Amino acid sequence: MTKGKCFFRWYVLLTKRLLRRPAYLAVLFLIPLFALSLRFFSQSGDVALSVALVLEEPVSPSAEAAAMRLEERSLINAVRMDNAEHAREELKAGRVEAVWLLHSELEEQYVRFARRGRAKAVTVWQREENVLLSLAREKLFAALYPELSFALFEDYLDKELKAPLPESDELRRYYFSGTTDERILRFETPEGKELDKDQPVLTAPLRGVLAVLLTLCGMASGLYCYADEREGRFVWLSVRARRYMPLLSHLTAMLPAALMVWAALLLSGTARNAPGELLLLLGYLPSAALFCELLRCLCPREEHYGALIPIWIAAMLLLCPVFLDLRLLMPLRELLPPTRYLAAVWSGAQRWKLLWYTAALLPPTALAMWLRQTKRGR
Amino acid sequence: MEAEIRNIHKKYARKEVLCGASFRAVSGSCVGILGANGTGKSTLLRVLAGAARAERGEFLWDGEDLLKNSALRRKTVAYVPQGTPLIEELSARDNLRLWYEPEVLERSLAEGMLRELGVNEFLNTVAGRLSGGMRKRLSIGCAIAREPAILLLDEPTAALDMPGKDRILRYLDGFQRAGGLVLMASHDPWELALCDAWQMLRGGVLEPYAYTGDRETLMRDLETP
Amino acid sequence: MRSFLVYTGLQLKRALRLLPGMLAICLLLTALAALGALLVSRLGGDREAEKSPVRIGVVGELDQGYLREGLQMLQSMDPSRFSLRLEPMAEDEAAALLRRGELAGYVRVPEDFVERWTLGEHPPLIYLSRGDGVGARLVREIADTAVSLVLETENAVYGAQNFVADRMPGENPYAMGDRLVLRYALRILDRERLYGIEMVETPEGISLAAQLLCGLALLFVMLWAICCAPLFSRRSRELQRVLSARGLRGGGQVASEFAAFVVLLLAAGTFVLLLGALLARRFDFAVPELAALSRTARLLLLLRALPVALMLCALSFLLYELAQGAVGGVLLQFLNALLQGYLAGCLLPASFFPEKLQRFGAGLPAGLGLARLRALLQGGTEPSVAVWGLLLLFLLLAAAIRDRRSRA
């Protein structure tokens, strides 16, 4: 019988071992469930910030126009409220992050701003100042801008150029001659792929989280390897085969999980291209398995290895671009498998880098495995 | 065919456990290795099985050094450690499938050594749920997949009940009669009674020992440094 | 009673043997948490110096219309008054800065863009970026609005030029246009003067920095529990049966082992808090709600927050009891930390999520824990029934499972 058949038989039986573990099955089952639930929740729309919008009576056409622009689907969710007091209560209760009160006679405020550079067009109430609220005010300004800009335009012609102004409609014709309702900005990746502007925020970190989970499956299977060594389960294998058993163990833990991750990416709508995603995940597995085995070989004792697992998880969640791209500790970050995988999602060149990374892990891992076996006396 | 263990040295950290252990045995015999706890019996068997590396020494079988020729060693020697190195979550059959080719497994179950061991009785039971005797029989069954000529056993019937001991010892007797060589580390009178020759491990070296079956004499000799 | 005390003593001894290694792990976890807190300070900072603008590059043929002048004018203005900066640059430079993450993205302006616009063609501008995260998406939205501001302005300038060309013969429309661009730039710079910004004191709700710090603290406890796998995941069922036969049933065993867990938590927690306080002083990081408290008040706050940590530890203990093995234990602990951390709002503020999810997350143990910590930071002093209730529930469940397994 060929070595290949023998390897396959071993692989199947070791996978069977894992699938008999309720906790492992629970993990496999929870992965796509988690993704589905995120997709379900994200259908109600996602927001980064909730802002209460109040239009002071009598409501001016500019205020109405600005409110409609703010109410378009966005990460900044502007919720219209009837009155300022109610909005203030919502702010105090922490249900909104800010209140934007658009004053009546907004057009006059715009004219005042155009002339003097100062006006009270909007009263803003907030609990604190932070970068998110500061960015949200850019959106507010953009919503006010078309009418404000027209006021600037008109004021300039009137006061600066002292030009005789035509009828309002005629003036608007000059102003609006170049405008368009078409989308001006198109979003793409540097490789030229069009970005889906409406990728839900909720599912955005899913890919990174699942990449970390896959690496964790490999690390957890490392604990099995210690137990196998302790119990002498593979004592009947040749020395060489015994040396590579841990890698096979990691792969048996990671491959079913990778298939579930693939299903999760498809179910959540995060996957770009089903066969491509699967190939990429399968390409990720060897690097993650080698990484886990290298870590295991560097820890002589099971207790040390187990204790370091949360460190590695925390490091991966923080340093790899899973939730936010913090760009901290770059050299360490580049060595972590999820970083390489996430980069490979976006770029063909990075996929080659993933392959090189895997190849680069081979020598140190092989050396570490050999040293560990020698130190253990075999 | 003759087996010769020659001048085996083995250290753990700075402590020398085996200091030139040597003896001879022929096929068709059973040699019992005695010694107090911690004298290195299990270490000796592990070295001979290739599960641990000796600093120096030879394990000759028909002129070939099995410590250097790992392929021949794996074909010739089967090692059954003190624990039962089974995968708890898999059934007995699945544990056997790890070590046997499918056709060979079926043949052995039908009319071969596995049938003699009585493994058929619990093929579909998960290994974690087997009794001690069944686990030991299964472990032996896994170890002998390659039809070895030499069987190394570390206290094979420890913690087993009498029927369990009897079954395994009958199997070992049959193995020996069929021309196999059994090397067994043991304290058990039943196991020792099966043996034709005995070696006492003391101070890291092996000396021939005449086991009479007398418990008190044995106790005294074990306690003698 | 004697068995209980003896067993508790043995468990404590076991736990204390793990302590030196545990403290080393805590040191590393705290270092990582400090990095996370740096993030908190960046997001939650209310000082001018901390509001570093988001940079967006602009590449392509900029010598069209007023694009280059407008952008350069913006760039020369006081940078601290911008949340977003559009910076002209070459495409190679922009691509390199984007790869290094120093740019959030860049806009590519097509050739003859302005001319084609005036002819009514409206070719799109291409915004190039990577990543799907909240930050990236927010910046894309803001970039969209920033570009529309620039184009709206451009449009107004051309309108003015056409007006001057039609109705003011003898005047130079281009000079007029230049002055209008300057006017627009000044007004855009002054845009915060359109608002009257007022900070509102709120009895409820805490600062973003405090929210993220609470989230990190809970996540820390959940991840730390993974370190305890060697102690709590491999247990001998035979020993449990013997103890049960000797009168120390599941409840007593769980109480003893949990006591060891708590001792480890207290030791690790004290170490982390001291280290965290040192790091906070070193990096000048402060949470407004804590900064306002005296040392005694902060200590009281910690004591009141302790049940939250105990509740999460009890949940981790229950998961170890369910998993019964090291591998399953580690995986379940991670899933617990991840699912609760994400859905309850420890990793990203819950306000980022839809309302349905916020309500769901608030019902999770970590969500209840966060609510409790928020209440404490707002000055609440009554004990939380929910937290204590869950703590007891998890321990009772663990005891019931232990009893069942011991008798099986």
DSSP assignment of C92-154, as one string? HHHHHHHHHTSSSEEEEEPTTHHHHHHTT--PPEEEE----SHHHHHHHHHHHHHHHHHHHHH
More reliable by pLDDT, A357 or A315 = A357
Query: pLDDT per residue over B26-43, tens digit each?
Result: 999 999 999 888 889 999
Kindly report the CATH number assigned to the domain that includes residue C176.
Answer: 3.40.1710
Residue C78 has pLDDT above 60, yes or no: no
Model confidence band, residue C131 (pLDDT cutoffs 50, 70, 90): low
Q: CA end-to-end span of chain A, whole Å?
A: 27
Q: Average pLDDT, stretch A38-49? A: 74
For an interface test with C, the pick among A41, A154, A250 (most C C-beta atoms closer than 10 Å) comes out as A41
| Chain A from 224 to 283: CB within 8 A of any B CB | 231-236, 238-239
Return the H-helix or E-strand segment holding A124: strand A122-126
Do A256 and A274 fall into the same domain?
yes
**A377 inside 8 A of chain B by CB:** yes
Q: Is residue C201 part of a domain?
A: no
C319 pLDDT above the threshold of 60: yes
User: How many angstroms away from the CA of C2 is the closest CA of chain A?
Assistant: 30
Chain A from 113 to 132: CB within 8 A of any B CB: none
pLDDT at C356: 80
Q: Where does the pLDDT of residue B139 fall: very low under 50, low under 70, confident under 90, or very high at 90 and above?
A: very high
C49, pLDDT greater than 50: no
Q: What is the pLDDT, as a whole number, of residue C50?
A: 45
Domain encompassing residue A259: 3-42+200-375
Judge if C8 and C81 occupy the same domain: no
Average pLDDT over residues B190-207: 90
Q: Which chains touch A (3 or more CB pairs under 8 A)?
A: B, C
Residues of chain A with Cβ-Cβ distance to B50 below 8 Å are 239, 378
In a mutagenesis test of the A interface, which of B46, B66, B76, B87 is the best target, namely the one with the most A β-carbons within 10 Å? B87
Question: Are A97 and A90 contacting, i.e. CB atoms less than 8 angstroms apart?
Answer: no
Mean pLDDT of chain A: 85
Q: Which residues of C touch A30 (CB under 8 A)?
A: 335, 339
Regarding whether C131 and C31 lie in a shared domain, the answer is: no
Same structural domain, A229 and A325: yes
Residue B212 Cα, gap to closest chain A Cα (Å):
34
Closest CA to A375 of A302, A300, A301: A300
Lowest-confidence region among A102-116, A149-163, A209-223: A149-163
Asked if C339's CB is within 8 angstroms of A131's CB, the reply is: no
How many CB pairs below 8 Å do chains A and B form together? Answer: 57
C-alpha A230/C-alpha C252 separation (Å) is: 31
Q: Is the pLDDT of residue B184 over 80?
A: yes
Q: Are B174 and B152 in contact (CB under 8 A)?
A: no
Phi, psi for residue B123 in degrees, rounded to 5: -55, -40
Q: Do A165 and A247 have their domain in common?
A: no
In this structure, the answer to whether residues A122 and A102 fall within a common structural domain is yes
- A192 or C107, which is more confident: C107
Please answer yes or no on whether C124 and A21 come within 8 Å at the CB atom: no
pLDDT-based confidence at residue C232 (cuts at 50, 70, 90): confident
Clarify whether residues A245 and A357 are in a common domain. yes
Q: How large is the average pLDDT for residues C306-325?
A: 90
Domain encompassing residue C256: 2-46+207-407
Binned at pLDDT 50, 70 and 90, residue B48 comes out as very high
Same-domain status, C261 and C136: no
Same domain, A154 and A215: no
Where among A112, A147, A178 does a domain terminate? A178
Distances (CA, A) of B5 to A377, B9, B26, C191, C385: 19, 11, 11, 92, 72
Q: Are C215 and A318 within 8 A, CB to CB? A: no
Distance in Å, alpha carbon of C248 to nearest chain A alpha carbon: 27
Q: Tell me, what's the pLDDT at C47?
A: 45
C295 in contact with chain A, both atoms CB, cutoff 8 A: no
One domain for residues C221 and C300 = yes
Average pLDDT over residues C273-278: 82
Check pLDDT > 60 for residue B21: yes
Contact yes or no for A236 and B79 at CB 8 A: yes
Q: Which of C170, C194, C218 is the last residue of a domain?
A: C194
Which is more confident, A101 or A311? A101
Q: State the Cα–Cα distance between residues A200 and C134, nearest whole angstrom.
A: 9
Confidence of residue C46 (pLDDT cuts 50, 70, 90): very low
Query: How many domains does the structure of chain C reveal?
Result: 2
d(C-alpha A277, C-alpha A106), whole Å = 51
The verdict on A58 and A36 lying in the same domain is no
Residue C199 within any structural domain of the chain? no
A144 with A208, same domain: the answer is no
* Chain B residues within an 8 Å CB radius of A224: none
All residues of chain A having their beta carbon less than 8 Å from the beta carbon of residue B98 are 9-10, 13
B216-221 contacts at long range (C-beta below 8 A, 24 or more positions apart)? B218/B34
Query: Which domain-ending residue is among C132, C167, C194?
Result: C194
Q: pLDDT at residue A222 above 80?
A: yes
Is the pLDDT at C282 greater than 90, yes or no?
A: no
Cα-based distances in Å from A32 to A260, A270, C337, C341? 6, 12, 17, 18
* Residue C200 located in a structural domain: no
- Shared-domain flag, residues C188 and C250: no
Instruction: Show residues of chain A in contact with C45, CB under 8 Å.
Output: 130-131
Domains of chain B: 2-216 (3.40.50.300)
- Final residue before a domain boundary, out of A147, A178, A209: A178
Chain A residues within an 8 Å CB radius of C25: 307-308, 310-311
Q: Using the beta-carbon criterion (under 8 Å), do B90 and A17 form an inter-chain contact? A: yes
Q: Peptide bond preceding A58: is omega within 30 degrees of 0, i.e. cis?
A: yes
Mean pLDDT of A21-31: 86
Q: Tokens representing A157?
A: 């012609």
% of chain C residues with pLDDT over 70: 83
Question: Of C194, C226, C255, which residue sits at a domain end?
Answer: C194
pLDDT on residue C77: 54
Query: CA-nearest residue of chain A to C113?
Result: A184
pLDDT digits (tens, 9 = 90+) for C146-192: 777 777 887 788 888 888 888 888 888 777 777 887 788 778 878 88
pLDDT tens digits, A226-235: 888 888 888 8
- Asked whether residue A280 carries a pLDDT value surpassing 60, the answer given is yes
C224 shares a domain with C115: no
CATH number at residue A164: 3.40.190
B52 → closest Cβ in A234, A236, A378: A378
Mutate to test the interface with B, among A235, A237, A242, A375 (most CBs of B within 10 A): A235
Residues A13, A155 within the same domain: no
Least confident segment among A59-73, A294-308, C142-156: C142-156
Q: Do B98 and A10 touch (CB under 8 A)?
A: yes
State whether C156 and C211 are in the same domain: no
Distance in Å, alpha carbon of A192 to nearest chain C alpha carbon: 8
- Residues A78, A32, single domain; the answer is no
CB contact under 8 A, C32 and A126: no
C155 touching A (Cβ < 8 Å)? yes
Shared domain for A38 and A66, answered yes or no, is no
pLDDT digits (tens, 9 = 90+) for A156-188: 888 888 878 888 788 888 887 655 556 667 777
Angle at C134 between CA A338 and CA C282, to 5 degrees: 75
pTM across the whole model: 0.78
- Can you say how many angstroms the Cα of residue A201 is from the centroid of all Cα atoms in its chain? 7
Considering only the beta carbons, identify the residue of C127, C176, C202 that sits closest to A187. Answer: C127
Contacts of B99 in chain A (CB under 8 A): 236
Q: Which helix (H) or strand (E) holds A6?
A: helix A3-19
Residue C253 belongs to a domain:
yes
Quick check: is C293 in a domain?
yes
Q: Model confidence over C340-352: pLDDT tens digits?
A: 988 888 877 777 7
Tell whether the model's pLDDT for residue C44 goes beyond 70: no
pLDDT-based confidence at C134, cuts 50/70/90?
Answer: low
Does some domain include residue C354? yes
Residues C223 and C336 in one domain: yes
Shared domain for A364 and A242, answered yes or no, is: yes
Q: What is the pLDDT of residue B13?
A: 75
Residue A343, in any domain of the structure:
yes
pLDDT at A297: 92
Question: Are both C353 and C219 inside the same structural domain?
Answer: yes
Q: Is residue A193 part of a domain?
A: no
- In this structure, is residue A194 part of a structural domain? no
Number of domains chain A is built from: 2
Q: Are C100 and C230 within one domain?
A: no
Q: Is residue A183 part of a domain?
A: no
3-state secondary structure of A208: helix
Cβ-defined contact of C21 to A303 (cutoff 8 Å): yes
- Kindly give, in sequence order, each residue whose CB lies less than 8 Å from that of residue B73, ignoring residues fewer than 6 positions away: B49, B50, B59, B66, B67
The partner residue sitting opposite A119, judged by closest CB among C83, C117, C194, is: C194
